Chains A and B, each alone.
Chain A
Amino acid sequence: MDHSSQNPEPTDAELLQAGYRYALALTHHPEDAEDLAQEGWLNLSRRYGRVESRAILFTTVRNLFIDQCRRKKIVHFESLDQEEPPELPSIAAEEPGLKGDLDRLLAILRPNEREMLFLHYHQGHTAEEISRMTNQPRGTVLSLIHRAIAKLREAAASASASTGCNQWMGLFVFLL
């Protein structure tokens, strides 16, 4: 568990695990996430002699990930309007759960959408905090979160319908 508000002074191991989970949110690939977390950790150790905080580790991991995307010419961070979008409703405090395999559902999201969900729902940051951390307008953060939730619900519904359909087909075949 590494929810930022619960443990203000985490151990090095807890910090590293937090960095790994953040990297996993960005990459959605365990091995890539491990590499990213390790590289970020070593870079900071080399430069400052220690990893001072979760925030600096996250920033380093994020920058490394962006560098990797640029090197591989992967354009994940598509340009959302940098101008403040129309006022969006705040994120609902009571968001209902999703049906289906969350890992598969998260795979359909873009890295920045997963990142926003991770920072908001796992790390417990508000949209304003995320805005400051990622240097994006608060509206963009809200927009990304809303869009990510909508995508997840749509994918979950579609998966559920498909599963239901398959069940009916199975029953039909069984009756025949």
Chain B
Amino acid sequence: MSELRHQIREHYDAKTISAEKVERILARGRDAAMGGDSLEGDKVTAFPAQRARSWRRALSLAAAVLVFAGLAGWWVQREMSRVPFAEVAPRVIEFFGSSPELAHAPQDKAALHEWLVARGAPVDFHIPASLMPLESFACSVVDMRGRKTYLSCYWRENKPERGDHDLIHLLVGRRGDFKDAPSSAQPERRELDGWSFASWSEGDAVYTLATAAPAEKLTPFLAWVGSFEFLTAAR
């Protein structure tokens, strides 16, 4: 062997990586071989990072679409399930035409209010002042196409011979349960099949006053409701 070869071999043979470091590199190599080498010092290239970002973006977009679709579905379902307010009047006529079984109403209006609230009527609803002096007749919960409304009936007049057409009915419901319900305290009037109706809203409650008689029979009980303009027009 030439002297130079000997020198060069000795020189490079003396150069080694420490056993500890060799073991570490070999261990990392084994990890890398098994595909699990996300170890420190590895070069991170832009491509996987961008892919991860695009996945995150896609997931965020999908989540946003799901949330939006959920909200839209909820809104559509809610709108579909709301009862058109125009159907209230025919339903009242239909209800009384079916000879319903009604509960006897207490004469104490506070007790009557309590009775209705106990069955689910809006807590903040009130019996109009114009009905307070009237004699209570009956009360009930009326199903309005799946939505509950709360009925109380009063005698309009105090006379010896009284019939159904002498009754005045107050129907209270939740405004959110109805589509196109009156949005103000100003009564909206309607007449149908010999019945007269007046509806208005206060807070979350929607009120309907009904009687099986011409509209003028209803007017005295609406005097307290609405604006001065309404009172003038009603007269």
Is chain A's binding surface mostly helix, strand, loop or mixed? helix
Minimum CB–CB distance from B27 to chain A (whole Å) comes to: 10
Partner of A24, one of B12, B32, B42: B12
- Known interface pairs A42-B37, A45-B32, A46-B37. Does A13 touch B26 (Cβ–Cβ under 8 Å)? yes
Report the nearest B residue to A20, measured CB to CB. Answer: B17
Size class of A's contact patch?
Answer: 35 or more
- Known interface pairs A46-B37, A122-B12. Does A37 touch B4 (Cβ–Cβ under 8 Å)? no
Q: Which residues of B contact A42 (CB under 8 A)?
A: 25, 28-29, 32, 37, 42
CA distance A2 to B19 in the complex (A): 15
Report the nearest B residue to A44, measured CB to CB. Answer: B29
Minimum CB–CB distance from B124 to chain A (whole Å) comes to: 71
Partner of A13, one of B8, B13, B22, B28: B22
Q: Are B29 and A45 in contact (CB under 8 A)?
A: yes
Q: Pick out which of these stretches binds chain B: A72-80, A91-99, A157-165.
A: A91-99
B5 at the interface (CB under 8 A from A): yes
Q: Which residues of B contact A117 (CB under 8 A)?
A: 8
Q: B22-45 toward A: CB 8 Å interface, digit per residue (1/0)?
A: 110110111011010100001000
A70 at the interface (CB under 8 A from B): no
- Known interface pairs A42-B29, A45-B32. Does A98 touch B7 (Cβ–Cβ under 8 Å)? yes
A3 at the interface (CB under 8 A from B): yes
Q: Are A34 and B2 in contact (CB under 8 A)?
A: no
Q: Which residues of B contact A44 (CB under 8 A)?
A: 29
Q: Which residues of B contact A46 (CB under 8 A)?
A: 32-33, 35, 37
Residues of B at under 8 Å CB distance from A? 2-9, 11-13, 15-17, 19, 21-23, 25-26, 28-30, 32-33, 35, 37, 42
